[in-house]
Amino acid sequence: MIRRGKRDVLGVMVDVVDYESAVDQIVHAAKARRSFAATALAVHGVMTGVLNAEQRFRLNELDLVVPDGQPVRWALNLLHSTHLRERVYGPALMLALCERCARDRIPIYLYGSNESVLAKLRERLEKLFPTLSIAGTQPSRFRCITPDEKTEIVNDIRGSGARLVFAGLGCPRQEVWAYEFRDALSMPVVAVGAAFDFHAGTVPQAPVGLQNAGLEWLYRLIREPRRLWRRYAILNPLYVAMVAAQGTRLVRFGDRAASRPDHELNYG
User: Do the domain assignments include residue 185?
Assistant: yes
Is residue 221 within 8 Å of residue 229, measured between CB atoms?
yes
**Of 26-30, 103-107, 214-218, which range is least confident?**
214-218
Q: pLDDT band at 222, cuts 50/70/90?
A: confident
Q: Is the pLDDT of residue 258 over 90?
A: no
User: Do the domain assignments include residue 84?
Assistant: yes
Omega of the bond leading into 204 within 30 degrees of 0 (cis): no
Q: Tell me what pLDDT residue 268 has.
A: 86
Q: Tell me what pLDDT residue 185 has.
A: 96
DSSP 66: E
User: Do the domain assignments include residue 151?
Assistant: yes
Q: Tell me what pLDDT residue 13 has.
A: 98
Q: Tell me what pLDDT residue 111 has.
A: 98
User: Do the domain assignments include residue 256?
Assistant: no
User: Do the domain assignments include residue 148?
Assistant: yes
User: Per-residue pLDDT averaged across 117-124, rounded?
Assistant: 97
CA 81/CA 116 separation, integer angstroms: 44
End-to-end CA distance of the chain: 35
Range of the domain at 150: 3-205
CA 38/CA 64 separation, integer angstroms: 5
Q: Residues 6 or more apart from 81 whose CB is under 8 A from it?
A: none
Q: Tell me what pLDDT residue 149 has.
A: 95
User: Per-residue pLDDT averaged across 179-205, rounded?
Assistant: 94
pTM: 0.95
User: Do the domain assignments include residue 255?
Assistant: no
pLDDT tens for 1-23 read 888 899 999 999 999 999 999 99
Is residue 89 within 8 Å of residue 40, measured between CB atoms?
yes
- Cα 131 to Cα 95, 103, 107, 127: the distances in Å are 14, 7, 10, 9
Q: Is the pLDDT of residue 159 over 90?
A: yes
Q: Tell me what pLDDT residue 233 has.
A: 82
Average pLDDT of the chain to the nearest whole number: 94
CA 231/CA 132 separation, integer angstroms: 37
User: Per-residue pLDDT averaged across 133-139, rounded?
Assistant: 97
User: Per-residue pLDDT averaged across 222-249, rounded?
Assistant: 88
User: Do the domain assignments include residue 216?
Assistant: no
Q: Is the pLDDT of residue 208 over 90?
A: no
pLDDT tens for 51-95 read 999 999 999 999 999 999 999 999 999 999 999 999 999 999 999
Q: Tell me what pLDDT residue 140 has.
A: 94
User: Per-residue pLDDT averaged across 46-53, rounded?
Assistant: 97
Is residue 106 within 8 Å of residue 27, measured between CB atoms?
yes
Q: Tell me what pLDDT residue 9 has.
A: 98
Q: Tell me what pLDDT residue 187 has.
A: 97
For residue 29, the one-letter residue type is A
State the total domains in the chain.
1
